[in-house]
Amino acid sequence: MADMTKKIIRVFIDADVICLDHFSGIGHYTASLLKDIDSLLENDKYKHIKITLGAPRRSFHRLESYGFNNFKIKRMPTSHRITNGLRKRDLLPPIDLIFGKQIYVFPNYSSWPTTGSPVVPIIYDLSYVLHPEFADDNNRIFLEKQVRLSAKRATRIITISKNSKKEISEYYEYDSEKIEILYPIIDKKVFYKIGEREIKKVMARYGIFDKCILFVGNIEPRKNLISLLKAYEKIDAELQKKYPLLLVGAKGWKDEEIHDHIETMRAKDIKIIQPSDYVSDQDMPALISGAKIFTYISKYEGFGIPPVEAMFCGTPVISSNNSSLPEATGNAALMVDADSISEITKAIESLLTNDALRHELIMKGYEHIKKPMFAAGQSGEKFLKLIESIK
């Protein structure tokens, strides 16, 4: 039975990031967190927390597809484009003058100003300041200014790893006790080892007919694809013929060198596969399950969800040993120096030729994903407790 003595807590979450046509990590993280929270609001102990989602006017209807049961939905006062234009010019009005006093949560780094209502931004990482060479220049300039404002306004901050928490606290001189880690949620009903028949069916849809070495992520410099390509180029020629390199990801920025290198390798008859069609979220578990190896040798990550998804699918992982990736993958990945082509080459060849090592990593992956950080409901629960703690 609900505790009628608890004071009603009202929360407004800007849901813009899950209303886009196609979204990457931030959208997936937000959608999964909201689904987690929505299910927990069925519990009587959280009936006093009333959550409203704000959506841009033109994409308002997209929230209906998620099937949320316990959120109210309101239209944001401006479109996504106009909001960003006003934000860049420091002309956004205090959002609580529009929707009233409550707790405001912003899942995409930057926040609106308020007249005193609590503000909780989600800041995923500091790649734009720690590795500006990998960022789109316009986006970097935007984030440098807007995230500093977000941190200054923030009543509390949410992030996704211990590494990001440390970096945010140090860079913005923000009290680490007020930074809450909510780990990414991976749905085990979606990510699991898919059967061979379904794998072949899905892979054929994208013109893939071989066991492959897989990368999933945006095609951008931070993902270190040049090093992956150079390492793949150096593996044994017979292994190259048997296991093509499959790159699945949306077009990023500063990607000219990556695409030029791919074309150079193709001219040498080295098989690099990139699906011409957008790979749907529904098909991703089958592609991951069908891969011989999953590679993720980024220069920097706020967490690193794809290699953990690969572990859920029973695919062995090669990961770089920097930033938050050791935290995300534990001892269940073959770790390499992202700057060492020879290490990456050796790791790929080892996993392609050593069945015992492959089996060992798969089993370690299954053990790793049993950790509390990946337990269903844990991030949603921490979010609701954080909301309750804000005075």
48 secondary structure, DSSP code: T
Share of the chain above pLDDT 70, in %: 99
Residue 293: in which H helix or E strand, if any? strand 291-296
- On the 0-12 / 13-18 / 19+ scale of CB atoms within 10 A, 39 is middle
Q: What is the pLDDT of residue 276?
A: 76
3-state secondary structure of 241: helix
Cα–Cα distance measured from residue 155 to residue 144, given in angstroms and rounded to the nearest whole number: 19
Angle at 344 between CA 343 and CA 349, to 5 degrees: 100
What's the token pair of residue 347? 């790791």
The strands making up 212-216's β-sheet, listed across from edge to edge, are 272-273, 245-248, 212-216, 291-296, 317-320, 334-336
Checking if the pLDDT of 74 tops 60, the result is: yes
CA distances from 104 to 97, 294, 376 (A): 12, 38, 24
In the CATH scheme, what is the code of domain 9-185+376-389? Answer: 3.40.50.2000
Cβ neighbour number for residue 139 with a 10 Å cutoff:
11
- The three-state secondary structure class of 380 is helix
Q: For 196-372, CATH number? A: 3.40.50.2000
Does 61 have pLDDT greater than 90? no
9-185+376-389 matches 196-372 in fold: yes
What is the rounded radius of gyration, in angstroms, for the C-alpha atoms of the chain? 22
What is the pLDDT, as a whole number, of residue 79?
82
Angstrom CA distances, 383 to 181, 307, 327, 389, stand at 9, 24, 20, 10
Instruction: Give per-residue pLDDT as tens, 142-177.
Output: 999 999 999 999 999 999 999 999 999 999 999 999
What pLDDT, in 10s, does the model give residues 332-370?
Answer: 999 999 999 999 999 999 999 999 999 999 999 999 999
371 has pLDDT over 70:
yes
Ranges of H-type helices in 5-136: 25-40, 80-88, 96-99, 127-130
Residue ranges per structural domain of the chain: 9-185+376-389, 196-372
